[in-house]
Chains A and B, each alone.
Chain A
Amino acid sequence: MAKEEVFAIPNVPTPNQPVLFNPEFCTGCNVCVEVCPIDVYIPHPEEGKPPIILHPEECWYCGTCAVDCPCPGAIKFNWPLQARGYWKNKDTGEIGQI
């Protein structure tokens, strides 16, 4: 049978990037996979690679994965656009946002 290619897929869940992995620092130790209370991740089939975010829409944004990660810089927490808090510098009035 000829190879079939798919050009249309259902909408991806939103939000879908609760964390951003940096493959440069991630050793693929899978601590995040273990500690996630929701089982958002599965280990990457290839050893040493960052886990796969299989169920991003179930993430509670509890941050356990990022807090317990033993490799600094490997996981960056990524709040969705609609949930990024603001602050204001009291002296300059400058607005900041995560």
Chain B
Amino acid sequence: MVPTPGVEKKIREGVMKGEYALPFYADFPSMSNVEQDATWKLMLGEEATTKIIIKTFNEAGFDTRKDMLQSYKFIEGQSLPQWREAGYGGGLLVDWNLKTTLDGLYAAGTQMFAPEDHSYAAATGRYAGRKAAAYVKEIGESKVSRDQIEIEKNRVFAPARRNSGIEWKELHAGIARVMQYYVSEFRTELLFKMGMDALEKVETESVPMLYALDPHKLMRTLEDLSMLEYAKIIIQASQARKASSIPLGFQRIDYPEVDPPDWNKYLTIKLENDKVKIGERPPRFWGDMKQQYEAYNKDYEGVYKGK
């Protein structure tokens, strides 16, 4: 039954105040057995186009005697999916050489927490390239790890070795759906955890079935594998920030206080020995711009100082 607009408004307000916890469920176990059976077995189970839904749920283990059916009302969100964001910002953490925390890996452009414009991308690209070249000169030749290359080759080519299963567009839609349900308009600890579990299920069950029929589709498949990682990072970062924030476009139902001074800081997130490690940096942790630039670019006589 569809609630009237008035009732729906009240429910929505209750959700935002934390009076009701999302997601909602169809609470079959609270109904009498005869009501459960009339709804599930008779009404849905014998109706032409819902028969297959009931059959599939039953075969997967759903049982009206003990299980509650999840509702997607509200968690699907009201805004257009393409305009929904998990929160603004985020990117690779870099030092004044634009080196990431992985030694030897440099970053430029919008992969950092950065303005999204061409001049910034061009300037940081040039800078990072110069610093990376200096790094290479300094460390000289290093040993190539054949093992690491083999592991990476296996990862990259695995989808190309299959010719049926799940292709990239389905994976893409699957990840997007998880993010829309659990990390979009409504943010709570419970929804984050459900989102994380759903992504892990995608990773263990669907990723090993990925296939790519040609190099283009392999490229898209690999992009989506990265997207799966980003999705996990977004959820873990969201879990770590236990406050709401206007500049970050980040509103939590369970932590409604907006920009409390304690949370005026950056959170860093890093994978260390397969464990997620959360750290923090103070605001403006990069220091004084002019001073720091001079300190890190003493030897540079290019565009900056002129000839």
Interface residues of A (CB under 8 A from B): 7-9, 11-12, 14-17, 60-64, 66-67, 77, 79-83, 85-91, 95-98
Contact = CB atoms under 8 A, between A and B. Distances in A.
A96 B62 contact: yes
Contact of B68 (A11, A62, A88): A88
B68 A87 contact: yes
B280 interface: no
20 contacts: A9-B213, A9-B214, A12-B167, A12-B213, A15-B170, A16-B167, A16-B170, A62-B49, A63-B49, A64-B48, A67-B55, A81-B173, A81-B206, A85-B53, A87-B62, A87-B67, A90-B27, A91-B66, A96-B60, A98-B57
B61 interface: yes
B52 A97 contact: no
Nearest to A83: B177
Nearest to A98: B60
A87 B207 CA distance: 22
Contacts of B52: 61-64, 66-67, 77
A82 B56 CA distance: 15
A80 B27 contact: no
A82 B177 contact: yes
B51 interface: yes
Contact of B177 (A61, A81, A91): A81
A68 B164 CA distance: 26
Contacts of A79: 56
Interface of B is mostly: helix
Given A64-B52, A67-B55, A95-B197, 5 more contacts: A8-B214, A63-B52, A80-B170, A89-B68, A97-B201
Contacts of B62: 87, 96, 98
Interface residues of B, number: 40
Interface of A is mostly: loop
B69 A87 contact: yes
B169 A97 contact: no
B186 to A, nearest CB: 16
Interface in B136-175: 164, 166-167, 169-171, 173-174
Contacts of A98: 56-57, 60, 62
Contacts of B61: 96
A63 B51 contact: yes
Contact of A96 (B67, B169, B215): B67
Given A81-B177, A87-B70, A98-B60, A66 B201 contact: no
B167 A14 contact: yes
Contacts of B167: 11-12, 14, 16
B67 A88 contact: yes
A9 B163 CA distance: 13
B25 interface: yes
Contacts of A12: 167, 213
B29 interface: yes
B195 to A, nearest CB: 11
B202 A81 contact: yes
B57 A87 contact: yes
Interface in B21-78: 25, 27, 29, 48-49, 51-53, 55-57, 60-62, 66-70
Contacts of A8: 214-216
Contacts of B174: 80-82
Those 7 A-B pairs whose CB atoms lie nearest each other, nearest first? A63-B52, A81-B174, A14-B169, A82-B173, A82-B177, A86-B70, A98-B60
